[in-house]
Amino acid sequence: MIEKIRIRMEEGNRIYRNESDPGRRLDTAANGQHPYAIVVCCSDSRVIPEQIFGAQLGDLFVIRVAGNVLDRHQLGSIEYAVGHLDCRQIIVLGHTGCGAVAAALSGGGDGFIRYITDEIHEAIGDERDPYRASCRNVQHAVLRLKKEFAEHPEVGNADICGAMYDMENGEVTWL
């Protein structure tokens, strides 16, 4: 590990341990997690659901993947959170300035990135505007969740909605 990054991360962890509420950690560690929402969002380092929604440990079951796309791993995570954690609210959160959507709009990525941009291409169709394309990408994921879990009423009956996060003003808009 690069030494200066390791030092930075260890210092961050020390501050976290000293300044965060140990009661909450101990409580959730002992009694399990009961998140009130599942959030599927982009891996973008500027889009942090816990900060955006003022959430604490144990509040959000977060699935992060570039471009907030879905494949079987994400679907399995959602199925777990609904079925085993009794979480009934699913939010797919897109954001302004999404690099994955921009990559799809400019033709698609190389290597494994193409799996992501192919999924986004399917979602956005012929939309060329980055914001509207991001919205369509979110709506596509919402529809896909409803379709994939059509035979699975426990998940299919959960409340599934889309939202967009504005990176500049911090506002979340429900779609």
The residue ranges that bind Zn ion (CB under 5 A) are: 42, 44, 98, 100
From the candidates 6, 17, 34, 46, which is the catalytic residue? 46
Minimum Å gap between C-beta 120 and Zn ion is 10
Active site residue 132: no
Active site residue 41: no
User: And the tokens for 130?
Assistant: 């980055």
User: And the tokens for 78?
Assistant: 């959602």
Minimum Å gap between C-beta 95 and Zn ion is 6
Minimum Å gap between C-beta 4 and Zn ion is 27
Nearer to Zn ion, 141 or 158 (CB): 141
Residue 58 CB: number of other CB atoms within 10 A?
A: 17
Active site residue 88: no
Give the SS3 label for residue 119.
helix
Query: CA 119 to CA 138: how far, in whole Å?
Result: 11
Enumerate residues 6+ apart whose C-beta is below 8 A from 97. Answer: 130, 167
- Would you please indicate which residues are annotated as catalytic (active-site) residues? 42, 44, 46, 95, 98
